[in-house]
Amino acid sequence: MIRSATLPLPLPEPPVSAHDRLRLFSGSANVPLAQEVARYLGIDLGPMVRKRFADGELYVQIQESIRGCDVYLIQPTCCPVNDRLMELLIMIDACRRASARQITAVIPYYGYARADRKTAGRESITAKLVANLITEAGAGRVLAMDLHSAQIQGYFDIPFDHVYGSPILLDYLKSKQLTDIVVVSPDVGGVARARAFAKKLNDAPLAIIDKRRQAHNVAEVMNLIGDVRGKTAVLVDDMIDTAGTICEGARLLRREGARQVYACATHAVFSPPAIERLSSGVLEEVIVTNTIPVPEENHFPQLTVLSVANLLGETIWRIHEDSSVSSMFR
């Protein structure tokens, strides 16, 4: 005679609310920014083990159950770019295999964004390759800030939210109550960005620097389109890398009679010799955000770093609550 055993069933757990499904994890690229975002959202960063093996391989393990959760992974792919990107891919894969309900890659700075098209034969469009890698790893959505080229959004076949650091930069500039402002684009490719910035800055006039680049990371300033004489010039760009473009532009503006020169950029890439160039005194102030961490040893008197944590936190909350993101920038 076969008898069936009766197992006591555990009491059903209470249903998980939408707010409780929100989980936030940080890669190693910018932990302070992720902690600020977590504080804004009123939650803790999720526990995670990150380590590197002796041969250089990366290891990631999520230390809590995320089954059925909406996971947000904060990781700018800044220097060292390949390590940061690989860590992000491993984090995404770990969450996918842990049965996360939705995985959103929060990428404050999108590395390889400048390789967005072929400019010569037999080149890679690396920005598209990175998009493929993130999608194939298992991300269901991407949140990025101030892409070098807005068309990169189209490289993804998953929902993509593109936000801007300009409101934070604009609020700071307005608080300084500068007079006779002219917004300057450091190259022809940044005119649309500078024009939008000028419009929000009390419809300030616009000037353009015509620049011819002869090699990678080498900029040659040719001439200025517009009038800056006796005015406060504000150079606007999406990033400052080696600072060649910004500093050559600032010198040209000084020669053309600008009274003061400020530089604004969302991403402080600061590859050598950027610090030496920016601290040389040609600029009154260099205003950047913390999408990329700036080490204490790279700070200089003219540098101001503004936080984008509240903006990212509000965007994450709106995505989670299925609210409008674009209305934040109207």
Give residue 16's pLDDT band: very low, low, confident or very high (50, 70, 90): low
Q: Measuring CA to CA, how many Å separate 243 from each of 192, 256, 263, 269?
A: 21, 20, 10, 9
Tokens standing for 152? Answer: 């990169």
pLDDT computed for residue 172 by the predictor? 97
The average pLDDT across 254-273 equals: 97
pLDDT computed for residue 18 by the predictor? 58
Decide if 128 is catalytic.
no
Task: Please check the confidence at residue 8 and state whether its pLDDT lies above 80.
Answer: no
Q: Are strands 218-225 and 70-74 parallel, antiparallel or unpaired?
A: unpaired
pLDDT computed for residue 212 by the predictor? 66
pLDDT computed for residue 221 by the predictor? 47
Please report the DSSP string for 255-268 in residue order.
HTT-SEEEEEEEEE
* 114-294-303 Cα angle (round to 5): 100
Minimum mean pLDDT among 3-12, 55-64, 72-81: which range? 3-12
Task: Please check the confidence at residue 13 and state whether its pLDDT lies above 60.
Answer: no
pLDDT computed for residue 6 by the predictor? 60
Task: Please check the confidence at residue 131 and state whether its pLDDT lies above 90.
Answer: yes
Percent of all residues in the chain with a pLDDT value above 90, rounded to a whole number:
88
Q: What is the pLDDT of residues 24-41, one digit of tens each?
A: 999 999 999 999 999 999
* 231-233-237 Cα angle (round to 5): 165
Give residue 188's pLDDT band: very low, low, confident or very high (50, 70, 90): confident
The average pLDDT across 143-172 equals: 97
The average pLDDT across 111-133 equals: 96
Catalytic residue among 51, 128, 199, 211: 211
Query: Of the candidates 324, 327, 317, which has an alpha carbon nearest to the alpha carbon of residue 72?
Result: 317
The overall average pLDDT reported for the chain is 93
Specify whether the CB–CB gap between 273 and 245 falls below 8 A. Answer: no
Specify whether the CB–CB gap between 207 and 184 falls below 8 A. Answer: yes
pLDDT computed for residue 218 by the predictor? 66
Q: What is the pLDDT of residues 219-260, one digit of tens each?
A: 564 689 999 999 999 999 999 999 998 999 999 999 999 999
